[in-house]
Every structure is written in C-alpha cells, then in structure tokens.
A and B are shown apart, each in its own frame.
Chain A
Amino acid sequence: MRYSHKIHQANQQKSPGIQRRQRITSFILIGAVIIFLLVFAETKTIDWWEFYRFFLSSLFSVAVAYIIAAFLALLLALGATKNKWLENILLPVLDVAQSFPTFALIPVLLAIFGTSRWVVIVFLVVTIIWPIVFTLITALKGEREDLGQAATIYNAHGLKRLWYFRLPSVFPAFISGSIIGWGEAWEALIGAEIIAKVLGVGSYLGKLGETGSVWQLVLGIAMYLFLIFILNQIIWLPLLNFSSRYQNES
C-alpha cells in the first residue's frame, strides 16, 4: 500500500471496473485471513490471544502517533508555504530535521520518558510526520493559482479559507502522505519496541526470534503482515478512493 497506492489510483482512473475486482480480491483475502486466524488460534505454537493483545496495544501507539503527526504535519506544511519569508526559514529547517536518523532519538526519549509507551509513540510521530509534510508541501507548491484566486474572489478568507478551500484542496496529498507514513510506522515499530523494551507486538516478535522456533517467528510475522493488510483494506483504501474525487482534473 505504501508504494502501491499511486498505482491503485491510476488504475482506478482508467477503469472503475478494476476497483470492483480489487474489492472482491480483498474480500477473498480477508476471508482467508479469518480462516487462518481460526485455525491457528487452536494450534498452540504461539499464544495467539497474547499476540492479538500485543497487536492491539501497538495499534494504539500507531494510531495515537498518527493523529499527532498528521496534525503537526498539516501545521508545518501550511506554515512553510504561507509566504516566501516563512518558506525560506522553515524549508531548510525541515530538510535538516527529516534527515535526522530517527532511531538515534530513542536513547534521548528513554532518558526523558523512561521505559514507557510514550517513547515508542514519540518515535513513531517523528517517523510518520515527514512523508505527510513533504507530500503536502509538494501539493501546496504545485497548486493551481487560479483556484486560489477564485477562493479569494468569492470571499474565502481566514478560517473559512482554511476549512472550505485549503484543507479540501490538499486532501488527496494528505491521504497519500498518510498511507506512506502509516506504512513506515509499522515497519519501524518492531525495532523501536525491541530497543525501547516496550511491550507490544514488535517486542513480542523480537522475543519469538530469540526464544521461539523459526516456524513460530515466521507465523508471527505472517500474522503481523496480514493484520496490517486488513487495516489498509478497511481504512486507507476507502479513503484513497474517496480522495480521488477531490483531485484536479489534469
């Protein structure tokens, strides 16, 4: 999804039929997952209920981090493109900030928060925020000038401009950036939980790697990927489809 959502969007514009076929494929896959879950919940290779519990607490971290990151990203991107003056200050700062290696942040966060979920959440915020910020800035810079002029002519000023013009016009970019950020968060989560020694699905997989068999680890990772896939299907795919109607005609 992280890399494929653009392809999905292009397909959809060419033929709406593809969308239906993809939905059917998704249903079949989700069905397969449910069967998989039921079967393996019975096998005692992994304590699946514990696995799901850890997955939920990690999902909570990702969700909280996503909400914070999305909000901050909107503020930063709107700020950095507000005028030339702010752009000249903020763009270089953002450029340096995004190249900072996020994992190096973990010892600092541990020093601040101790071993708590917040270490992982703050780390995830920093992971999620950049793809959103930069897709938003790219969209805002490439915005059609005449649309902004139309908004001005028809009295969209201040908060009204933000709500009725700015936000809807960046919505497709926001979803695109979110999908990338969300994907990177799940990838970075495992390492972060292991390093920070915070309980979650990531550190659980880490433990399986150390103490369990290879078979258990493979099963655990497969389940992890399947659950993320399902989340994409029920959250991001519909949002992506919805946002395509917000897009400019080319």
Chain B
Amino acid sequence: MNPNNKVIQIRRISLSYKENGQKFPVLDDVSFDVAPGEFICIVGSSGGGKSTLLRILAGLQKQTEGKILNMPEQLGFVFQNFALFPWLDVESNVSFGLRMQGLSKSQIHKRVREEIDRIGLEGFEKSHPKELSGGMKQRVGIARALAIHPKVLLLDEPFSALDEITAKGLRHDLLRIHTQTKETVIMVTHLVEEAVELADRIIVMSPRPGKVRKIITNTMSRPRDTRSREFFKLVDEIEGVL
C-alpha cells in the first residue's frame, strides 16, 4: 500500500437522464469513502445504477451532481463482457495500456510476462480473443487492467458472464492478487455471496433511483469459509436490506 494514497471520497453523486422533457433519476445522492488498499463491493439488483456509478468513478461518464475527491488517475477497469480488442492477441491486449503510455519495449515485455504468469495465461500469448473461453478472456481483461499497475482497480460484474466453476476460480485468483498487491479494489456485483466472500466493506444499494441503503463492514477473517454460519448470517443480513 502506498502511504501517500488518500481516502477516495465519493460525495453526493446524483445522475439523471432526460427523455422527452422527463427526468429519469438513475443515481440519487450516493456517498461513501474508499480507503487505500480496501476491497469494496457494491451490491444491488440489476438496473439499479451500479454500472453507471462505476463509469462515473472511472471518469467515463459525468455525474449530474456531486463530486469525487482523491480519485487517482491510474485506473484499471474490468468489463462484464471482457471488452478485449478482437484484432489483438493476448499479449498485445495485455500490453495495450502500457503501449499507450509509451513505456519502452523491454519494460512492456517484462510487465506483460509478469501479468501473464500471475493470472495463468501461459501458452496463450499468441491466441486471439475469439479462440479463448469466457474464463480465459476475463483473465486477459484482468491482466490488461493490472499491467498498468493501477492505483485503483474497478470491476463491473466481472464474473457474471461466466459459469459458476470458472467464476469461483477467478474469484480466488483475484483475491490472491489483491492480497499480494494491496491494490484498492471497487467491484460491482449483483451476487450477495460474491460480495461477502471478497469484500472488506459492502455498499448495499437499492434501485430506481440507485441509493446507498447500508454500508456493511465485513470482519470475517480470510480465507473465508463460504459455508460457515457466519457467512450465511452476513448474506442474510444483506438480503434483508435489499
């Protein structure tokens, strides 16, 4: 963890779309903090504005009201449907951000090697996205995000498009990497169990418009037993809020 990192402050974010003169509120007065190194999960039902919130955090979309303080510039983003560049092979997808930043060839090579080994993509360097399974594609998505050494890693339902067994493996890998690097993580999910397994704190949102219902600190020690009584108690508590 970088000691110079400051707490990210999300303050009173609102967003609404205008359609035929009518206002459609999507996010209403969303506020929370994110401490450096924290693993945050945002849970809520679909259509609740979670992706919109994440896009605002990433600067991809402008909020109607509110502000975000201390958000670092160096961000990684992992997409629900992977968003890999189909014309690039695995290696070039992973190195995309580094090449845009203009790193030297040898630096790029070293970082790509590291990320490919860490996420388990050895042997697939020259494959194109078309030739990969969903799980492998998302590994590329994660490696591409981590390669730039992001200060904050944003993930939008990264495992929703995968079958449960694949998702489980990827969750473990993500957690392992987070434990190693201590990168700040903000992840959106609609699965309460996923949030309880991964997060230090869980932001529970209610939909239409998206509002923060409750913020729950998850004190369960790691590695977490997803079949323990404690685990189910927390899941029940969150589902009660939803």
Contacts and interface: CB of A to CB of B under 8 A. Distances in A.
Interface of A: 144, 146-147, 149-150, 152-157, 160, 164-165, 168-169, 171, 245-249
Interface of B: 55, 58, 60, 75-77, 79-81, 83-88, 96-97, 99-101, 128-130, 144, 148
Contacts of A157: 100
A246 B86 contact: yes
Contact of B83 (A144, A155, A246, A247): A144
A197 B233 CA distance: 88
Interface of A is mostly: helix
Given A153-B58, A249-B129, A146 B83 contact: yes
Given A149-B60, A245-B128, A154 B87 contact: no
9 contacts: A147-B85, A149-B58, A149-B79, A149-B83, A150-B79, A152-B60, A153-B76, A155-B100, A169-B87
Contacts of B96: 150, 154, 156, 164
Given A150-B77, A245-B130, A156 B83 contact: no
B77 A153 contact: yes
Contacts of B144: 150, 154
Given A152-B60, A249-B130, A171 B77 contact: no
Contact of A147 (B80, B83, B97, B100): B83
Nearest to B97: A154
A234 B36 CA distance: 58
Nearest to B75: A153
Nearest to B98: A154
